[in-house]
A and B are shown apart, each in its own frame.
Chain A
């Protein structure tokens, strides 16, 4: 990062702002033959990898969702059946709507509880207080753990016979097993991890905010809360949007935690576990599973697009 400031003066002397990039970077045409081959390979290998392992499967999933393939027959036996799979998913597959609800609830809890709480902690820790580092460490300790392990660790709290929660409350509730509450139990565990991550992002965001902004607001008679919500929060717009996107994608991807608890059944169905069950499980319904996978893809691509717009705008400004 220090190098940035060093080259800034040199860049200021450059020709008009729309040109410096071309002046700064080497043009491909000027390369020797060997260099050109090296450069091409350097880009081609990773690009091919991503195209073959991510983008091709994504497109194939969308295509398969309009077919009746059962996964066993040859590729030539695939028949297009229009939007039948989607109709089936919506009308003829009982777990679908509950699963979608679970994903939405997941999103709502992360968005309404975990994200604001993470932001709140960041605001508190951003003040110059003693031991800020120690508190921070405590909050992002769960961030370094896998969601699978999070599910495992919380089992010691939730267990019906041996969990501390029942011991303290004097109850006999099977927190992970009872289908009316296990989603909430899982959400507490998921939020536990999410809060630390959001705190970290906002701490970085707050450090980047010009402190004079806040001072100016305070001089103008704003109290601390007003200064935050009216001045600082809007300035952190890029971080806010990134956090929004991360939260949505996290909620959509909800898989590891519920899979570790009970393979995503009995109250813990999410779209991701349904897709997996339809493909890997006993019934291999490829077209049908693909239809649900496509729904996931469509929702996530909206937010990926928002995210890319922000990032690319910043890239272009550099």
Chain B
């Protein structure tokens, strides 16, 4: 970078560099291939590929997308995903900010153990908690305006709660670490001015935490959207499943038409791809922020 000016106008890369680049080009093309293949075939007509085989070129159409959307009930499933993801991410981040704030600002004797309780919860295998959670949710009665199944089972609220419980640890850890870097003098002067803890939290801490919150929000939206297990076991009605968990159902409906299946996959991929390319910086910094996600 720095010696650009003194470098001769044109230098051919040394042979090892070429080998390195060739290697990286081949491997990264191989890496993208499964996704590219799905996108490619999603735009092709089934009868064309049936006749000419998949290793061919031509028969382009967008019909698959229209068919996948209607046959797979994508409208409903995307809506279900939104209903679960948006509240789960917002509540997780808010609660994580609360705990992070207290952990970073006040000295309790059990500060570290509290953090450990949150962090470890993040890493336990969800399947091992299934039995009690399932029974608990089934026997928790909810009014019908809140859940039309009458309990936490078969209700988006149950899935939202489990997502919050599992994501809180990571977010709390990242946020409390970030909040520790906020200089104490700021709070000192706020206290002198008579600002209550509530005001300190909402008017000082939260605005200052915008960078980690942006990174975490990006990451959390992706993770909750991608969450598969809890939705599959806690929601038994097919039409209530979020899009990621309804993938299994789509399989049967698209059983022989792989072009349709490709279009379906691309549709499911689309939201995360958009988030990823639009917010790549936040995304990557979020992943390495805590370097802790299991």
| Chain A positions near chain B (C-beta within 8 angstroms) | 1, 3-4, 6-7, 10, 21-22, 24-28, 31-32, 34-35, 38-39, 42-43, 45-47, 49-51, 53-58, 60-61, 64, 71, 121, 124-125, 127-131, 134-135, 137-149, 151-157, 159, 162-164, 167-168, 192, 196-197, 200-201, 203-205, 239, 242, 245-246, 249-250, 252-253, 255-256, 259-260, 263, 271-272, 275-276, 279-280, 286, 289-290, 293-294, 296-297, 300-301, 303-304, 307-308, 311-312, 315-316, 318
Contact = CB atoms under 8 A, between A and B. Distances in A.
B132 A152 contact: no
Interface residues of B, number: 110
Interface stretch (B59-67, B82-90, B143-151, B163-171): B163-171
Q: Which of A27, A42, A297 is most buried by chain B, counting CB atoms within 10 A of its CB?
A: A42
Nearest to A151: B247
A205 B244 CA distance: 32
Contacts of A24: 184
B164 A297 contact: no
Contacts of B244: 146, 148-149
A315 B112 contact: yes
B108 interface: yes
A203 B183 CA distance: 29
A184 B119 CA distance: 32
Contacts of A289: 130-131
B165 A53 contact: yes
Query: Which 8 A-B residue pairs are closest in the complex by CB-CB distance?
Result: A146-B226, A138-B28, A204-B288, A57-B132, A53-B165, A60-B132, A42-B98, A293-B128
Contacts, number: 308
B127 A300 contact: no
A249 B173 CA distance: 19
B129 A54 contact: yes
A280 B134 contact: yes
A149 B121 contact: no
Contacts of B75: none
B106 A27 contact: yes
B6 interface: no
21 contacts: A1-B181, A25-B184, A27-B106, A50-B168, A54-B124, A58-B124, A61-B132, A124-B24, A129-B17, A135-B24, A140-B284, A141-B276, A152-B268, A155-B258, A156-B261, A156-B265, A246-B293, A246-B294, A249-B294, A308-B119, A318-B177
A130 B38 CA distance: 28
A300 B292 contact: no
Contacts of A203: 288
B129 A50 contact: no
Question: Majority SS of interface residues in chain A?
Answer: helix
Nearest to A315: B112
Interface centre among B49, B118, B124, B181, by most chain A C-beta atoms within 10 angstroms, is: B124
Given A45-B95, A253-B126, A307-B123, A141 B291 contact: no
B107 A43 contact: no
Interface in B11-59: 17, 20-21, 23-24, 27-29, 31-32, 34-35, 37-38, 41, 49, 53-55
B31 A141 contact: yes
B130 A148 contact: no
A271 B125 CA distance: 11
Contact of B20 (A49, A124, A275): A124
Contact of A200 (B107, B108, B284): B284
A167 B17 contact: no
B33 to A, nearest CB: 8
Contacts of B168: 46, 49-50
Contacts of A255: 127, 228-229
A60 to B, nearest CB: 4
Given A149-B247, A245-B123, A303-B123, 7 more contacts: A3-B181, A42-B101, A46-B168, A58-B129, A157-B37, A204-B291, A255-B127
